[in-house]
């Protein structure tokens, strides 16, 4: 038991010594940091202003019903009715989809076509923008 106390005591002494060393290092680092900041402050290099970001305008591409239908697997495309409506293509189910098919269709419309589901009772549908 006494050997254990000596070992613990020795470890505590070493920890205290390390803490003292870290304090000295910390003070030295603060001093060096202050000196560097002062040196940089005395000689400020002239930095040219950043150029404004350039925007590249890409022409909007208008999608057709055929473009939208090609994104779907045949089994899903056969369950859907597609129609153009102004700026959007409206997609409605021809039959009851079930939860699995609905999830697959919703995922394709959301992730690949950047469309959305419009919940409106019997008039619920998916809406996909024609322009990309």
- CA-CA distance, 92 to 121, in Å (whole number)? 12
Q: What is the pLDDT of residue 131?
A: 87
Backbone φ and ψ of 22, nearest 5°: -65, -35
Over 60: is that where the pLDDT of 66 sits? yes
What tokens appear for 13 in the block?
Answer: 């002494």
Q: What is the pLDDT of residue 1?
A: 53
Element at 58 (helix H, strand E): none
Output 99 or 54, whichever has higher pLDDT: 99
Closest CA relative to residue 82, chosen from 98, 66, 96, 97? 66
Q: What is the pLDDT of residue 44?
A: 58
Q: What is the pLDDT of residue 3?
A: 65
Q: Could you tell me if 108 and 72 are in contact, meaning their C-beta atoms sit under 8 angstroms apart? A: yes
The pTM of the full predicted model, rounded to 2 decimals, is: 0.55
- CA-CA distance, 65 to 59, in Å (whole number)? 19
pLDDT tens digits, 16-43: 888 888 788 778 788 887 877 777 776 5
pLDDT tens digits, 112-128: 999 999 999 889 999 99
Domains identified in the chain and CATH numbers = 65-129 (3.30.1360)
């Amino acid at each position: 038991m006494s050997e254990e106390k000596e070992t613990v005591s020795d470890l505590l002494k070493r920890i205290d010594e390390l803490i003292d060393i870290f304090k000295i290092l910390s003070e030295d680092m603060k001093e060096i940091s202050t000196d560097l900041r002062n040196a940089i402050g005395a000689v400020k290099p002239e930095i040219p202003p950043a150029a404004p970001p350039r925007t590249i305008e890409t022409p909007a591409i208008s999608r057709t019903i055929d473009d939208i239908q090609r994104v779907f697997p045949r089994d899903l495309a056969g369950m859907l009715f597609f129609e153009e409506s102004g700026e959007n293509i409206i997609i409605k189910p021809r039959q009851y989809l079930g939860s699995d098919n609905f999830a697959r269709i919703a995922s394709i419309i959301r992730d690949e076509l950047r469309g959305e589901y419009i919940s409106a009772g019997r008039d619920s549908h998916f809406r996909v923008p024609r322009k990309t």
